[in-house]
Amino acid sequence: MTYCVGIKLDAGLVFLSDSRTNAGLDQISTYRKMIVYEKLGDRFMVMLSAGNLSISQSVREILQVEKVPNGDGEPITIWNAPSMFDAARVLGSAMRRVYEQDGLSLKKAGIDFNATMIFGGQINGEAMRLFLVYSAGNFIEATRETCYFQVGESKYGKPVLDRMVTPATQLDEAAKCALVSMDSTLKSNLSVGLPLDLLVYQRDRFQTDQIVCIDEHNPYFQMIRGTWGQKLRQSFLSIEDPQWEEGGATSVPLCVASARYEPMRKITHPGEKIV
C-alpha cells in the first residue's frame, strides 16, 4: 500500500509520498511514488501515485507521450497543454489507455484495475491547480473548502490535516503538517514506509529547490516523530478526566440532563420473573 498527500495553498503546493510497495508479508519493496515534470519558466507539475504498481509505472511512461485531440490544431500533451485542466485530461487519457491494454488481462487474473493519482502544478499564464485522478481517468479538483487530497492509507493522517491546514497556511507549516500526517500513518500501518519524498513548490516560480528524500536517519523527521508523540501525550493528560458525580468541582460535568433522550436500561430485581 502507500500514502501520498498533496496540498494546495495560497502560497504554493506541498507534495509528500512514501515509497513502500508490498505484495504480501514477505514481498516488501521500495519504489518512488513521486515524479516531477518540469519545463523551466513554462510549467511545473508533480504526480503522486497509489495502487497497483504495474499500472502506475505504465501510466508514468505513457503520460510523457500521450496526446488528446485538439480540434484547433496540434494534439495536446502534458508538455504543450495550455492549462493544468488540459494536462489532467492527458493524464486521464493515459489511465484509460493502460486500462484498454491491460484491464481485461488483469480482470482474468483476478486483479482489480486499481490506481489513483494526485496531479498538481502550474502552467505559465494560469494559477496553480491540484487534481485527484481516479482509475477511470476522471478527476476532481481541489477547492478552497477542500484544499488537499490523499491517496492510499489516508485515514490515519487525515485528522491533523483537517484541523491544521487551510489555504492561508504557510508553506513550511503545511510541510510540517504533512510530515506529522505521514508519521501518524507510519505509526499505525505497516504497509506505509520510509523513505519519503517531500516537495514544496512556491507559486509562480516554475521550479523548486525544496525537494528532499527523507530516510530513517533524517534529523528533522526524527525530531517530528519524537516531539509529536510527546506533545500528544502532554495534551491528552492536560484534558480533565470525566466527573461522574453531580455537583462535583468541575466546569465541564459529564452527567447532565438531556431533553432529547435518556439511556436505555432494563433493570431486574432479585426474584423477578423474566418473560
* Fold of the CATH domain 3-233: Glutamine Phosphoribosylpyrophosphate, subunit 1, domain 1 (3.60.20)
**Domain spans of the chain?**
3-233
Dihedral-angle region of residue 110 (phi above 0 means left; psi in -120 to 50 means alpha; beta otherwise): left
pLDDT in tens, 72-119: 779 999 999 999 999 999 999 999 999 999 999 999 999 999 999 999
Half-sphere exposure of 34 (CA within 13 A, CB side): 25
Residue owning grid cell 495550455? 82
pLDDT, position 250: 78
Mean of the per-residue pLDDT values of the chain: 93
Q: Which residues contact 181 (CB under 8 A, 6 or more apart)?
A: 5, 16, 157, 158, 160, 161
